[in-house]
């Protein structure tokens, strides 16, 4: 076979694979729910300060290189911030806070190919530590990203990375505050 024929076969194969990824991704549901729990060897108040201390995120979350506090969002003056990191710039807002038990945040940028909310539940553990459960109610709008999220990364990948970083984090001193 000639080199040109091999190039044609390779190009057709790649096009077929790309089409398969798009078609399978389009067939997957946009929404998903993923949840994980972990034990953190710190009391709930310490964990709360860590997960709400957004300015401290770059110090303990390897996927975040910078955080910018944004003006509060209406209605209700909800705290907002922008994280810069491995996934680019993502804007978040605080939806609900019940210290030190429950925190709900959401991605506040509908232009992204993904979105959703995270619910953090903190429960005291008998040893003085904290059981942290994160539940992601996610939406992946782009069919290629849906395919990757489901079959390559897994819906739990971001939660797992966050919880691993949280287990290794030092206690933060600040909390999400009003400007």
Residue 131: per-residue pLDDT: 96
Q: 3-state DSSP call for residue 51?
A: helix
Fold of 30-168: Alpha-D-Glucose-1,6-Bisphosphate; Chain A, domain 4 (3.30.530)
Segment 62-115, tens digit of pLDDT: 999 999 999 998 878 899 999 999 889 999 999 999 999 999 999 999 899 999
What φ, ψ does residue 67 adopt, rounded to 5°?
-135, 135
Q: Where do the domains of the chain lie?
A: 30-168
Instruction: Inform me whether the pLDDT recorded for 8 exceeds 70.
Output: yes
What are the distances in angstroms from CA 61 to CA 85, 86, 92?
10, 11, 16
Average pLDDT over all residues of the chain: 89
Q: Contact at 8 Å (CB) between 91 and 80?
A: yes
Q: CA nearest 150: which of 34, 63, 13? A: 34
d(CA 64, CA 9): 42
- For residue 168, the 8-state DSSP code is H
Q: 3-state DSSP call for residue 175?
A: coil
């Amino acid at each position: 076979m000639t080199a040109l024929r091999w190039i044609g076969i390779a190009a057709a194969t790649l096009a077929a694979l790309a089409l398969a990824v798009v078609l399978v991704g389009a067939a997957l549901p946009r929404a998903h729910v993923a949840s994980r729990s972990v034990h953190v060897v710190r009391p709930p108040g310490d964990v709360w300060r860590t997960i709400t201390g957004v300015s401290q995120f770059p110090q303990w979350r390897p996927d975040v290189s910078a955080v910018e506090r944004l003006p509060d969002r209406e209605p209700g003056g909800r705290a907002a911030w922008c994280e810069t990191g491995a996934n680019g710039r993502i804007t978040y807002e605080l939806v609900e806070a019940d210290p030190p038990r429950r925190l709900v945040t959401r991605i506040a940028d509908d232009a992204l190919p993904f979105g959703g909310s995270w619910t953090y539940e903190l429960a005291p553990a008998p040893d003085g530590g904290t059981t942290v459960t994160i539940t992601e109610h996610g939406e992946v709008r782009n069919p290629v990203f849906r395919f990757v999220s489901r079959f390559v990364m897994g819906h739990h990948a971001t939660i797992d990375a966050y919880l691993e970083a949280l287990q290794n984090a030092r206690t933060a001193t600040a909390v999400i505050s009003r400007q």
